[in-house]
Structure 1
């Protein structure tokens, strides 16, 4: 049986980037740290919440690169004078990526009680009806 590429289907003209998007999403991995929630706030708004206890605002960065929302966390290691008898709280760096659909933009971000909230909004495009004239030859 021959594998049919998604972008090669005759009814999906111009969707070849969708296949690359699926591959990129699959490569982002299943790393579960830090844990996160995705909520639908309204018909056109979403919120991603990451548990970032122990990270200060300056330890976190949020960027959008090529329709991919990337959240990075890196704690400064200024604890050289501390001696731990037990260390059970994770203090590792992380990178979490979310692929954004066209028309979805970051509306804002804030930290609250050890949680990082990233608000997303989807702009609703205007419906445009276009009539194509048929030229006579």
Structure 2
């Protein structure tokens, strides 16, 4: 197997240490660690499905454990007391532990087993505090030029003494019309 050096990427990918570490771990996996085979599907923006081919295992022989940022699937085949003589043995029934690193806020929404396939559905659920939200932009309120003068205070030169003085021209305009 050809060795692949990812160290040049460390300097050019800020914040990708977790991704690079996962890639390096995947490349170091022995063949046994790739069992059982699986598919990862994106169902929607925040929904995913991991499907495992676990033929030969019953649902009782499988265990699914969800922890923060990690999903573990384990399979342990029950030992049969019945002696068997195989001419060819091609169905894998060895024990396995498979771990997946999950992103923040990804939870297991359900798991189903059908025809030797274990389907695990995942959903990303952002808490309200970290969800993007639209912030309204406010503008300052327009301040009126006509402020009520305290009693006994003189108005500025050319300014009406009170609101009643402003009303007189409006009434005069209405009568003229």
* Superposed CA offset, 1:49-96 (max 9, x none): 000111111101111234110000001012x32322324221100011
Q: Distance in 2 between matches of 1:15 and 1:129?
A: 28
- Tell me, which stretches of 5 or more residues in structure 2 are unaligned? 1-6, 136-177
User: Whose helix fraction is larger, Structure 1's or Structure 2's?
Assistant: 2
Tell me the secondary structure at the aligned position of residue 34 of structure 1: coil
Shift of 1:32: 1.6
Distance 1:82 1:123, change over 3 A: same
Q: Which range is displaced more, 81-90 or 97-106?
A: 81-90
Are 1:115 and 2:117 counterparts? yes
Q: Counterparts in 2 of 1:12-91, with a 5 A limit?
A: 31-78=33-80, 80-88=81-89, 89-91=91-93
Would the aligned equivalents of 1:75 and 1:93 in 2 still touch at CA under 8 Å? yes
Q: Distance in 2 between matches of 1:65 and 1:29?
A: 24
Q: Counterparts in 2 of 1:87-106, with a 5 A limit?
A: 87-88=88-89, 89-106=91-108
TM superposition score normalised by structure 1: 0.70
Would the aligned equivalents of 1:45 and 1:122 in 2 still touch at CA under 8 Å? yes
**1:126 corresponding residue in structure 2:** 131
TM superposition score normalised by structure 2: 0.56
Matched positions, count: 124
* Superposed CA offset, 1:97-128 (max 9, x none): 11010111000101011000000001244225
**2:162 corresponding residue in structure 1:** none
User: Whose strand fraction is larger, Structure 1's or Structure 2's?
Assistant: 1
Larger radius of gyration: 2
Higher relative contact order (CA 8 A, sep 6+): 1
- Tell me, which stretches of 5 or more residues in structure 1 are unaligned? 7-11, 131-137
Q: Distance in 1 between matches of 2:22 and 2:133?
A: 26
